[in-house]
Structure 1
């Protein structure tokens, strides 16, 4: 039995419904709580209509089938299978005496028939399992790698932990059997790896503290004990920052850091903050390289929309005030934001402080912003693509303001305002030549309702941000260099 049981709260966790399909065989369904349905923009009054199967419990044949699902309405997998491919996990042959696998059936194989009895039964699941139905059951996060391995090695949709079958896919290619011995072997191996990570971390931290004081006292420094296990050597070496890692080594370390991020944040917050800053800087530089490659190619609008959807912070830089993306490809002229076949804007964002809305329209770098020939000597007029895009954005603004009340009501979004809807158009590249640059600047600076930004300007903003972060990472050298220049 578990040492402690989390107190049930139906309002927070949802409820269970049990149906007896035939004697000694029941199906258990998860009924989501109202807050999850609201977060998923579903009618909270129709909770039972959205109930989803969670368990099959067969007392006669002594097996338990779990249907791992997402239970949080603000996640994309809400009420859907939790894993990419595996839909069911069955613990079979529980009449065999294997510790941790057979005690959740009562003597005689009778099955639980009440929610409280099901909750009590779940507490007796093996330690590798999530036992709280509010989290969708399945394997606990540290053991998710077992699922990943099954999905990588087969096309099977059901994992069966069996005391009779050997490990491997069944002949029908839908079931993947893993013997209870192999399952326990994998579970213990992952526990051992976590222990090695913690041991390596303690060794490096202890050595770091010793060396800081030793340096002040003029005493010889120490190297951390790396041990003989190859994983511990890997983790210790990485913690010292002394080697380049292969892709496999990087994945192993990232997994370890992910599992122990909370401990690191508590024990060494400064180092974790530094690591995060380094990662953000490297990520930004990789993003700049990707942006430069995309600018050199001829890509359709959808590719650029996907790029900004993956990296919405770039849109923040187009404005200079904090924004939050509300929706990509949002309907601004219909019943709700997710409507189809209506006025669609590429991005709908809002000011995170005032909730005022902004419409983004994304074109391509190849879109011309000026006509090729001058209207008068040294004066160029905006291209039809530019003027048409401006009118398109203004029409979207008009439609959105006209339908804002209906959109908010039907989309169940209350924190959205249209005080003064701003429009931003990302289009083309900065024109070449003084006359063309002048004409472009004159035109867009007088476009008070639609802010016009070019793709190369956004790239320059990314580069400036990278320079700023690098300077912030070396403030002493930066100050010294300024002092040297000032004599």
Structure 2
């Protein structure tokens, strides 16, 4: 067995390769992940050889090289499993590769692969991202093996689940994909230039700095990319926007009478744009480490988001509401982030808001593949249950003290908004087991709420396009 550690300055320790000879002129090459990746994937790293994976075959007697694309990303749930869902191998036939006798020669051979291929074994080999459409197509029709041949014609063998593609035709495909990618980059560069100009011109609102015209190119690709830019269309300046709003305000009765559908469509468009801006703001906030107060402010300004956590209409009674528990000393009020009620039954619910960065589970498993809720989550659940207890106990006094009599504590619901759904499969399972058995506290993650906002946006967009 021969192994090598390629020298890569500033890059984490790579995996190893090992060679096994099947018979004269036919070898198998195997990938052994490094200790660091195994630790990151929460696997035992003392003996990396236990995780050896088949990644390559070379047979000079039949003149082929077969690649078995591998997922080498330790944070991915499919770590050390096949990279693609259906396609298992990519074979180069008739290329005249020699037989590597060492891992150094294997690495040299990989450098000679066609330019559409990933040549670094530490990234699992396979096709580069720009050429994935061919893999997507093959997976749609259930093909498991792709053969790129210099000797055979292009054909499909459904019986053997093999798609053979003549190398010359594969090269045409590769060049076409490259042309599309290059055109897209050029068009994107144009659009970015115009977008930058128009955004700055918009905020300056100065005639000396005009916006550039919408049609920055005549080809369909450029126009398509331009549609994704918020500032490419001939947008209105701030002063023009004020005039437009005033004009609609002055004529709203006439518009409602003569063309009510136009007014409804305008209202829907405004709601859609507003929702889109909210989603963008939400996503920006998710990327930063913000305090609980920032998220409380966002939900306070957009209380309809709380509706999404329930799925039925609610009315906000108060934020940072005292729900009882005051001691004789005047201290000890139980403060909930939001007190809301069902708009039809008046039954109340309590919301507790944490942050997306709050850890849902403890880092170390309690048992193999079983994770317990973190201290922050367990504490938050008890906190909101204590608030519920005090609220139900003192509801009559709260009604009297606040003058709000149309709220009830028939079966006070509790909602905890916290963290994000774990990426790891086993952690997701532990989290779901915990929250589905938390019958008195509904636990919702920040990214789940974001997805609900996006679903609402998509629904409104569909409705807008169909009207």
Bucket of the pairwise TM-score, normalised by the shorter protein: 0.3 to 0.5
Using the size of structure 2 for normalisation, the TM-score is 0.48
Using the size of structure 1 for normalisation, the TM-score is 0.46
